[in-house]
């Protein structure tokens, strides 16, 4: 495995790859969720490229940029064992220039839900993903459904900018107790972690209701909010279609139920594709 820290090192290593390339962009502190993306990329491509970069432009003022978990040595080992060909770990200076041009998320779909709660987050996310996709020039790039709106916007960017890359959505990986894996789960105390389980429980409840043919969004989200009393504050409980437009009736096979909530100081998101 080549570990590249500069653009030049990366480009040299990339030139040496032959055949199809699967790319997995991450912010590190890798867990089983990331590993599932790596394994899928490994299975479906001749070569695998992974990036680890805690991207400052997608963090808002006052968010956890400085204390975002960093586990470089363990991450390198995980990538090596997963058969990654190139691990790209650039510095901020390598990735950004002064007064560079910017990419803006779409005005509607980029500024609802996560985009409303974290204005500017998706601009920064799309900016770094565009750079990484252009540098890597992959055949396929792998994104988790855990960050559903991110996945949707990246898919739109690739479409709108005529980028010849297949975006592959990957299933959410959860702990045995149902909590969706996230690098940010390490912030939770054991007591908070227990309360955080209400998020996945509320989604399970929604799933049961849909299976019992309850499709009214107001009824479903009301039942979810009762379970979500265990969290400290709910940012949103919403149901959207696959294009992220809010809907009033769940359509099976075509809807996403999303939750964002704070448990203590930790902001958690989760969702269910239904
Ligand atoms: P991050 O390091 O949090 O930026 O995540 C990198 C990629 O891993 C993104 O595409 C995420 O959606 C994906 N990911 C994070 N957590 C999970 C999970 N629990 N299951 C599946 N994919 C995940």
Q: Which domains does the chain have, with CATH numbers?
A: 2-170 (3.40.50.620), 183-268 (3.30.1300.10)
Q: What are the CA-CA distances from residue 99 to residues 61, 67, 96, 102 (Å)?
A: 19, 26, 9, 9
Judge if the beta carbon of residue 37 lies within 6 A of ligand 1: yes
DSSP 174: B
Whole-number Å distance, alpha carbon 180 to ligand 1 midpoint, is 10
Q: Which residues are marked as active site?
A: 34
Q: CA 123, 126, 127: angle at the middle one, nearest 5?
A: 80
Question: Residue 136 in 3-state DSSP?
Answer: helix
Judge if the beta carbon of residue 146 lies within 6 A of ligand 1: yes
Whole-number Å distance, alpha carbon 187 to ligand 1 midpoint, is 17
pLDDT at 237: 98
Judge if the beta carbon of residue 147 lies within 6 A of ligand 1: yes
* Tens digit of each residue's pLDDT, the chain (274 residues): 999 999 999 999 999 999 999 999 999 999 999 999 999 999 999 999 999 999 999 999 999 999 999 999 999 999 999 999 999 999 999 999 999 999 999 999 999 999 999 999 999 999 999 999 999 999 999 999 999 999 999 999 999 999 999 999 999 999 999 999 999 999 999 999 999 999 999 999 999 999 999 999 999 999 999 999 999 999 999 999 998 999 999 998 999 999 999 999 999 999 999 9
Cα distance between residue 152 and residue 184, in whole Å:
22
Residue of 23, 27, 33 with the most ligand 1 atoms within 8 Å of its CB, for mutation = 33
């Amino acid at each position: 495995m080549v570990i590249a820290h500069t653009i030049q090192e990366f480009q040299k290593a990339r030139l040496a790859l032959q055949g199809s390339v699967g790319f997995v962009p991450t912010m590190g502190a890798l867990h089983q969720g990331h590993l599932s993306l790596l394994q899928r990329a490994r299975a479906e491509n001749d070569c695998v490229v992974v990036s680890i970069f805690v991207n400052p432009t997608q963090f808002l003022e006052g968010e956890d940029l400085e204390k975002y978990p960093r586990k470089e040595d363990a991450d390198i080992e995980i990538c090596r064992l997963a058969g990654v060909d190139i691990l790209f770990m650039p510095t901020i200076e390598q990735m950004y220039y002064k007064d560079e041009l910017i990419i803006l998320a779409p005005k509607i779909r980029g500024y609802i839900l996560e985009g409303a709660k974290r204005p500017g987050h998706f601009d920064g996310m799309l900016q770094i993903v565009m750079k990484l996709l252009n540098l890597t020039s992959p055949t396929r790039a792998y994104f988790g459904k855990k960050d559903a709106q991110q996945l949707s916007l990246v898919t739109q960017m690739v479409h709108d900018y005529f980028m010849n890359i297949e975006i592959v959505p990957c299933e959410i990986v959860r702990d045995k107790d149902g909590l969706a894996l996230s690098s940010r789960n390490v912030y939770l105390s054991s007591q908070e972690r227990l309360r955080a389980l209400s998020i996945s429980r509320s989604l399970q409840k929604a799933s049961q209701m849909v299976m019992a043919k309850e499709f009214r969004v107001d009824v479903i989200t009301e039942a979810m909010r009762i379970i979500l009393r265990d969290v400290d504050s709910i940012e949103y409980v919403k149901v959207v279609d696959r294009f992220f437009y809010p809907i009033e009736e769940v359509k099976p096979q075509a809807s996403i139920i999303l939750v964002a909530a704070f448990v203590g100081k930790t902001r958690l998101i989760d969702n269910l594709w239904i």
